[in-house]
Amino acid sequence: MGGTFTDVAMWDGTAMTVGKVPSTPRDQSEGVMAGARAAVPAGGRADLLHGTTVATNALLERRGARTLLVTDAGFESLIEIARQDRPSLYDPFADRSAPLADPGMRLGVDVPAVGHDGELDAVAASVAAAAHDRGAEAVALCLMYSYADPTVERALADRLRRVAGVPVSASAEVVAEFREYERFSTAVLNAFLSPEVSRYVGSLADRAGRAGFIDEISVMRSSGGLVSLDHSSAFPASILLSGPAGGVVAAAALGELMECETLISFDMGGTSTDVCRVRSGRPEVTYSREIAGHACLMPSVAVHTVGAGGGSVAWADRGGALRVGPRSAGADPGPACYDRGGAEPTVTDANVVLGRLDTRARLAGTLALQPDPAMAAFERLGSELSLESVDAALGVVAVVESHMTHAVRAVSVEQGTDPRDAALMAFGGAGGLHACALARALAMDGVIVPPYAGVFSAFGLLLSPPRADAAQTVNVTGADRDRLPAAARSLLAEARGQIEADSGQMAETAASIVDMRYVGQAHETSVPYTEGEPWEALCERFHRLHARRNGFSRPLDPVEAVTARAEAVGSAALRWADLPAFEPEPGDPGRGSRPVIGPAGTEEAQVWWRPALPVGAEVSGPAIIAEGESTTYLAGDERAIVHETGALRIEW
């Protein structure tokens, strides 16, 4: 579910049905159910697997709850002190994001000892009174050392839930890890998002119930697996990257099938572009990141997002320079070519002006693209920049592709990985229009445009299993290494139990991971761990991974295991092997030609209908390869070959 269109993919056990419907910004559940109705045949029933941007949008727009932060007396300002770093080292005007709990919404309490029930009752009563007096809509309870011993925090949270009358997020329940600022920030995020996500979940459940054909509803969590509606409502911070995670899961599955050791997923939609590195069929997962300037310790696929999509607005700044994004025209009014009242030029309008998008096509099956409003928008922009309209459109494409190239570099070069060894897997409605330019700018190993590219993130939900993640800071060194196996075993049992309780199915696989570092180091490296393996083997693996990520290792330095993690996954609704062999549509795939404008000028591009291209077919550029939900553009010296999966493998 994106800001412009809601994508739908349905598997009925024998065939795949895909489509798009316009998103409904006021209540996204309306668009979700409209897509479900369009996909499910009359009289049929289905489970709904849902990727949502509700939590993300609420955070970006700061539409969350008025949140009261409760912590130990004297630590109320920790959420604002943070790490005392600057968001931009050389920009004196760049400010950090304001905390989600402002100074008037922070309360310090004297924490009673374990077993002092009367004192706990008194503290809970005083917090409830403060929440009422200050108009709090949610409470984040963050005691300093609850990651090590959560007993008091959980007891206080239980009492608050009975008397406060608002959602309560206890930091040890949200994430039981050390580093108090990051833990506090994650708990506050969770509390801030709880009412908004709960309202949305309730609306979706209500609409699905009244529709009568939806059985179970699951939501994609940021780490690339599905959870129940109840879980997503209780832990909304875990679904902040729900939207793009499905595409990353699908990219990993296809990349493994096509024997791509390393690839970078490139998901370009209407509002933003998301990129993520995938190695050996496994997406890169991060356990600490910032989202909209707020630290979050929830595990997530390591997606890097830039505000560059088909709806990104092009504009001239006060110095007369061409800029693109991050503001988007969204779905309503949308780009000028939608002819819904939008007058500002966007990336989609640029592709219309340059002939790369077919104006006879119907987006989401109904929306016709109008070339005249797009041209008029670029004539106005061109006059501001002293450029012809076509040159302005070429400039917009060049600028947005530069933004996206930087995003690809952020998940490759800046993390010690050479992009020349990776293929770029491009999807989303606009991914195929720009992928080749990005890949060539970074000398990458070709481009893959997967089947169902325009709805690939929705398709990825079908490939996503139920998932549970658990973590606990342990602080184990070589001297007390014997504590690690028991901690890892306990977390695996916890993750398996979460899967069973949340989805009703047993975990199919489970794995342990340990965050390790050299003693005294400030940052950790996540290392796979097998229970019972020698400490020395684990340390050797850490040295290798540290060298690969950072360029060096120190094998003689002492090592410590900081946080133990576990991930458990169930069975996905669909595996790639379940899909029938790719069969092209009958008929001639050729659709004539049309002029397309590129940096070298106007070229006559052959137009091909992708669903009718057989396996092994080769298409040479300049060419446009069209399909129902997306378009791929090939420049003059590029060629695409249809893989046996139906994917396009593009080389030059």
Beta-strand relationship, 138-142 and 106-109 = unpaired
DSSP 100-111: SS-GGGEEEE-P
Q: Which pLDDT belongs to residue 438?
A: 96
Q: Which pLDDT belongs to residue 306?
A: 87
SS3 call for 149: coil
The full set of domain ranges for the chain reads 60-200, 467-571, 590-651
**Looking at 246-302, which runs of residues are DSSP E strands?**
262-268, 273-279, 282-283, 285-286, 289-291, 294-296, 300-301
pLDDT in tens, 330-363: 777 889 999 988 899 999 999 999 999 998 877 7
Alpha carbon separation from 482 to 36, 475, 516, 533, 560 (Å, rounded): 52, 12, 16, 11, 13
Identity at 404, one-letter amino acid code: M
pLDDT in tens, 442-478: 999 999 999 999 999 999 999 999 999 999 999 999 9
The span from the CA of 350 to the CA of 86, in Å, is 36
Quick one: 9 exposed, middle or buried, by C-beta within 10 A (0-12, 13-18, 19+)?
A: buried
Q: Which two tokens stand for residue 255?
A: 């990349």
pLDDT in tens, 359-371: 887 776 677 899 9
Q: Which pLDDT belongs to residue 90?
A: 86
Q: Answer yes or no: is pLDDT of 60 > 90.
A: no
Give domain 60-200's CATH number out of 2.60.40, 3.30.70, 3.40.1350, 3.40.50: 3.40.50
pLDDT in tens, 203-223: 999 999 999 999 999 999 999
Alpha carbon separation from 206 to 23, 54, 200, 211 (Å, rounded): 18, 17, 10, 9
CB atoms within 10 A of CB 189: 28
Q: Answer yes or no: is pLDDT of 26 > 80.
A: no
User: Could you tell me if 290 and 300 are in contact, meaning their C-beta atoms sit under 8 angstroms apart?
Assistant: no
User: Could you tell me if 28 and 200 are in contact, meaning their C-beta atoms sit under 8 angstroms apart?
Assistant: yes
The span from the CA of 374 to the CA of 392, in Å, is 12
Average pLDDT over residues 613-642: 95
**Looking at 370-430, which runs of residues are DSSP E strands?**
423-427
- Rounded to two decimals, what is the model's pTM? 0.92
Contacts of 374 (CB under 8 A, 6+ apart): 335, 336, 337, 345, 348, 349, 350, 352, 353
The span from the CA of 330 to the CA of 412, in Å, is 29
pLDDT in tens, 364-412: 667 789 999 999 999 999 999 999 999 999 999 999 999 999 999 999 9
Beta-strand relationship, 423-427 and 447-449 = parallel
Residue of 539, 542, 537, 563 lying closest to 552 (CA atoms): 542
Residue of 57 and 169 predicted with greater confidence:
169
Mean pLDDT value across the chain: 93
The span from the CA of 553 to the CA of 326, in Å, is 39
pLDDT in tens, 502-549: 998 899 999 999 999 999 999 999 999 998 899 999 999 999 999 988
Give kind and range of the element (H or E) at residue 49.
Answer: strand 46-50
Give kind and range of the element (H or E) at residue 198.
Answer: helix 180-211
H helical segments located in 212-318: 229-234, 242-257
The span from the CA of 76 to the CA of 84, in Å, is 16
Cα 293–chain centre separation: 16
Q: Which two tokens stand for residue 64?
A: 């969350």
CATH topology of domain 467-571: Dna Ligase; domain 1 (3.30.1490)
